[in-house]
Structure 1
Amino acid sequence: MSASSNSFASTVDLRLRPSLGALRAIFAVHVAALALLPLAMRPGWPLVVLVAAFGVSWFWLRHHPALGFGPRAITRLVWHADGAWSLFRGERELRAELQPDSLVHPWLLVLNFRDPQGRRSVRVIAGGEADAEPLRRLRARLKVGA
């Protein structure tokens, strides 16, 4: 999935909103796990602690930058015609490289980036985060580059 292996000659520019679809899916997983816990454990402190841990996990994920929440969230992605990537956190632009462990699936993108200083950035795109046409172009270009 190297950015330099694609043959497209146009720039893809996505302005991203928070990933509410991914947040709903994560909520459903948390609810299902909480519903199954009483069947898997006896009542007591271990069950209470695990329920509390699920609550903390849910709260933490609701504010996670990978889903588009908070000041560290990627709010815009630009894949330039030359294969270079620009990530925006608010108005701040960062150059980054798409990592080969990124996931490209018809209904989910998990884009892993690394900047020149070695810091990682992740953005989950489940479909409703961007306008349809630029998102379609991004998916097509990622598939061809894979």
Structure 2
Amino acid sequence: MDVSQLSAEDYASADRVQRLLAGSFGPSPTLFRPMRSWQDFVVGVEAGFDTTWIWEYYNDLSRRGWLHEALPLLTPTLRALCQPVIERWDARYCAATGPIKPQGLLTSRSSTQGRWWHDRFPLLIDHDQEIPLPPSWSPEPRRLTE
């Protein structure tokens, strides 16, 4: 990402986004931290999601939610720098996940309000048999220990 072409207006839009979204998603020191956080999460899903932290999975998706909220608020220049990076990690996330099996209204597409990443589950997991998997994760993901 070439930031040498960013203007004072671009930096101001990044600062404004951080202030506007801080209450909803927690503090974010820089625009690039949520991008890096999404990248790290995707790498973890690709490697095999540890279901010991299954209760954190949907919470971790808020990283992508922050980016979803932030992008429209950025200047066109800054958005043009960020969007391709986010799209590459989104594609990798899609490759490492499968669509959830709808389980009534709670997992319907309308319930996620266009946040498609909530409608997917990891295809490869490191799973403790004592931890139940959500019924929407169907067919059951492949296990690292298989």
Greater length-normalized contact order (CA 8 Å, ≥ 6 residues apart):
1
TM-score normalised per structure 2: 0.27
Q: Which is richer in helix? A: 2
> Considering only CA atoms, is the larger Rg found in Structure 1 or Structure 2?
1
TM-score normalised per structure 1: 0.27
Q: Which is richer in strand? A: 1
